[in-house]
Amino acid sequence: MNRKDVDVFEKLSGQLLSTFEEVSLLSKKNPNDAVNRFKLHFINKLISQSNDYLSDKYKPFDDFTTFNEDDMPQNSDVVFILSQYLQCFEKQRSDNVAMMSGAWYWRIEGGKNDNVDENGMIFIRTVKPKKLKD
């Protein structure tokens, strides 16, 4: 990973989480209701960007690209898919972070203008991966 990958990761995972939380609230009230077209457009855009970002190693399903807008998915379907993407993003985070001096940092490849360690790596502070055992 490099600095740009971390920036994209943080943006997409944040958007996925906020969308997941919003649709989860709808799903708790009415799990079988269809997602409206306006929301589905942005959900599909976010999933498409996530598919482009995640490598085959981290993509949750090799045969899922986006929801079919002609066959409106239910709230619970969207929650299910978004939760899978969030788990895969957290797997990627856990594979690319390390704890140093009590804090979590991304281990990323340094550029020519970065302060790098002896292995050519730089560290950017992040949060502890979810569900990572201490």
For 28-60, what is each residue's pLDDT tens digit?
999 999 999 999 999 999 999 999 999 899 999
Q: Which two tokens stand for residue 88?
A: 């895969």
Per-residue pLDDT at 36: 93
CA angle 104, 98, 129 (to 5 degrees): 60
Confidence of residue 66 (pLDDT cuts 50, 70, 90): very high
Contacts (Cβ under 8 Å, ≥6 apart) of 15: 46
Helix 75-95 and helix 3-29: axis angle, to 10°? 150
- Whether 133 has a pLDDT exceeding 80, the answer reads no
For 71-130, what is each residue's pLDDT tens digit?
999 999 999 999 999 999 999 999 999 888 889 999 887 665 555 666 667 788 898 888
Per-residue pLDDT at 104: 92
Per-residue pLDDT at 118: 66
Residue matched to tokens 């409206």: 36
Per-residue pLDDT at 125: 86
Half-sphere exposure at residue 100, Cβ-oriented, CA atoms within 13 angstroms: 10
Q: Which two tokens stand for residue 79?
A: 């929650």
Per-residue pLDDT at 121: 72
Please check whether residue 78 is in contact with residue 35, taking contact to mean a CB–CB distance below 8 angstroms: yes
- Whether 132 has a pLDDT exceeding 60, the answer reads no
Query: pTM of the prediction?
Result: 0.87
Query: What phi-psi label fits residue 101: left (phi over 0), alpha (psi between -120 and 50 degrees) or beta?
Result: left
Per-residue pLDDT at 11: 97
Q: What does the alpha-carbon distance between residue 54 and residue 92 come to, in Å, rounded to a whole number? A: 9
> Percentages helix, strand, coil for the chain, rounded to the nearest 5?
50, 15, 35
